[in-house]
């Protein structure tokens, strides 16, 4: 009976891996189709994606309500965390929408950049921006809201 249970668990995990690889294959196919767009359309999409990246990055660093400027352990807040973080209804929604928009615009930028050495440097810089964004968000939001955003974003994107 145990062997059957372990085999079924292995089958489930293998199916999950297949789903992930299938989605990756579709993403690559979509990226290849993106190569067929005109240069003007690609440039316009890159401008829009760059604006979305800028706006969402700024919104993450300056959340609604601002940030606490000092540590007050007695009141339960520390410097650099979002003031609106205690609004358990609206703040997670704002963070999640910001998170989804930043993620999708970063992916779009990554896919629209042409291939080549210079483009590889831009892609490395984009990955660094991505890491910086998620790290900053984890400090500003603390763990609860960010975990909620990660889970809900993964569910909404079908990951």
Tens-digit pLDDT profile for residues 94-110: 778 888 888 888 888 88
| Least confident range of 12-26, 60-74, 93-107 | 12-26
Q: Are residues 55 and 102 in the same domain?
A: yes
What average pLDDT is seen over the chain? 71
What single-letter DSSP state applies at residue 68?
Answer: -
Give the per-residue pLDDT at 58.
Answer: 84
- How many structural domains are present in the chain? 2
How many CB atoms within 10 Å of residue 112? 18
Shared-domain flag, residues 29 and 100: no
pLDDT value, residue 48: 92
Predicted pLDDT of residue 17: 53
More confident residue, 82 or 38: 38
Do 47 and 20 belong together in one domain? no
**pLDDT tens track for 31-67:** 666 567 777 888 888 899 999 999 988 887 777 766 6
Q: Is 77 helix (H, G, I), strand (E, B) or coil?
A: strand
Same domain, 60 and 14: no
3-class DSSP state of 18: helix
pLDDT digits (tens, 9 = 90+) for 114-153: 777 888 888 888 888 888 888 877 777 765 555 655 655 5
Please, what is the end-to-end C-alpha distance for the chain in angstroms?
32
Average of pLDDT values for 63-83?
64
Greater confidence (2 vs 75) lies with 75
The counts of H helices and E strands in the chain are 4, 0
Report whether pLDDT(5) > 90: no
Nearest Cα residue to 82 out of 72, 93, 73, 69: 69
- My answer on whether 83 and 52 are in the same domain is yes
pLDDT at 51: 93
Q: Are residues 71 and 5 in the same domain?
A: no
Q: How many C-beta atoms surround the C-beta of residue 134 within 10 A? A: 16
Q: What is the pLDDT of residue 10?
A: 55
- Find, among 129, 95, 135, 132, the residue nearest to 109 by Cα: 129
Same domain, 71 and 95: yes
94 lies in the same domain as 126: yes
| Domain of 66, in residue numbers | 39-157
Query: Within this chain, do residues 112 and 149 fall inside the same structural domain, yes or no?
Result: yes
- Asked if residue 46 and residue 6 are part of one domain, the reply reads no
Residues 135, 74, single domain; the answer is: yes
Q: Are residue 131 and residue 87 in the same domain, yes or no?
A: yes
């Amino acid at each position: 009976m145990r062997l059957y249970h372990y085999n079924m668990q292995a089958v489930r995990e293998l199916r999950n891996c297949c789903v992930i690889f299938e989605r990756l294959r579709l993403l690559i196919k979509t990226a290849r189709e993106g190569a067929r767009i005109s240069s003007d359309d690609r440039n316009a999409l890159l401008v829009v994606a760059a604006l979305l990246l800028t706006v969402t990055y700024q919104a993450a660093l300056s959340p609604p309500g601002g940030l606490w400027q000092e540590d007050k352990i007695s009141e339960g807040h520390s410097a650099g965390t979002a003031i609106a973080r205690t609004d358990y209804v609206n703040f997670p929604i704002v963070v999640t929408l910001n998170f989804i928009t930043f993620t999708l615009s970063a992916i779009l930028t990554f896919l629209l950049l042409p291939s080549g050495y210079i483009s590889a440097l831009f892609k490395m810089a984009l990955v660094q921006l991505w890491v910086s964004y998620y790290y900053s968000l984890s400090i500003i939001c603390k763990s609860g809201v960010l975990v909620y955003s990660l889970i809900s974003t993964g569910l909404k994107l079908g990951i």
